[in-house]
Amino acid sequence: MQELCYHHFEQMAQLEARYYGEEFITPPQEAYRWYQRYPYTVVAAADENNRIVGFVNLFPVKEHIYEALRAGCFNDHFLTLEGVEDIVADANTPLRMFLCCLVVDAAYRAQGLTRRILRAAVEQYVAVAYRCTEVITDNVTEAGEAFSRRYGFRELLRSDHDSTVYTQSWADFVKRI
């Protein structure tokens, strides 16, 4: 999808709620704020009725958020706009990427949609790829963990909110997708 509206973010939250609890879902109002300020934070796919059937949130986070994620003590339910790194603000800042959420409706799986939306998300960072250092995930489902292993992430630890944190270099991630 080229342009997203607030109701799309409500649809994304509903899609997420099919697979895990609200305590792990960023409120749609906040995710929409990210998108309004930094459109590169989300890539979504819709069906012929303009209903979201898959999306990914992939974006750089501020250093303190990244370190809290690596320590297993940050739940992205609480991530706000202020935690997202502006990719144009400081051209010397390393970008630590957070694969915050990836959801594809069960009816659209095994059709290559996951890889297509991941590639579209990565394409948004081509101009700043030299600054992208690592990618981190915080998986709350077995399917999320399976995804992370399949795409070459290595397990770091169990978090304080019963999820599993994985990481890998940006370069390796890009090669795998």
In a domain, 160, yes or no: yes
| Cα–Cα distance for residue pair 105/18, rounded to 1 Å | 9
Residues paired with residue 104 on neighbouring β-strands, in sequence order: 54
Q: Using one digit for the tens of pLDDT, what is the confidence trace for 113-132? A: 999 999 999 999 999 999 99
Q: What range does the domain containing 34 cover?
A: 6-176
- Greatest mean pLDDT range, 14-28, 88-102, 146-160: 146-160
Q: Report the CATH number at residue 22.
A: 3.40.630.30
In a domain, 65, yes or no: yes
pLDDT digits (tens, 9 = 90+) for 79-93: 999 999 999 987 888
Average pLDDT, the chain: 94
Per the structure block, which two tokens stand in for 112? 């290559």
Bridge partners of 49?
none
Whether residue 44 has pLDDT greater than 80: yes
User: Mean of the pLDDT values across residues 47-60?
Assistant: 95
110 belongs to a structural domain: yes
> Is residue 82 a part of any domain in this protein?
yes
Q: What is the pLDDT of residue 90?
A: 77
Number of structural domains, the chain? 1
Residues facing residue 166 across a β-bridge = 137, 155
The total number of residues written for the chain in this structure:
177
Residue 72 lies in a domain: yes
Q: For residue 1, what are its two tokens?
A: 């999808």
Q: What is the pLDDT of residues 19-39, one digit of tens each?
A: 888 888 899 999 999 999 999
1 in a structural domain: no
Kindly report the number of other CB atoms within 10 A of residue 154's CB atom: 10
Please state whether beta strands 164-169 and 132-139 pair in parallel, antiparallel, or not at all (unpaired).
antiparallel
CB 38 within 8 A of CB 59: yes
Instruction: Outline where the chain has alpha helix (H).
Output: 6-17, 28-37, 63-71, 113-123, 142-150, 170-176
Q: Give the 3-state DSSP-derived string for 71-120, with helices as H, strands as E and coil as C.
A: HCCCCHHHCCHHHECCCCCCCCCCEEEEEEEEEECHHHCCCCHHHHHHHH
Asked, for residue 93, whether it belongs to a domain, the answer is yes
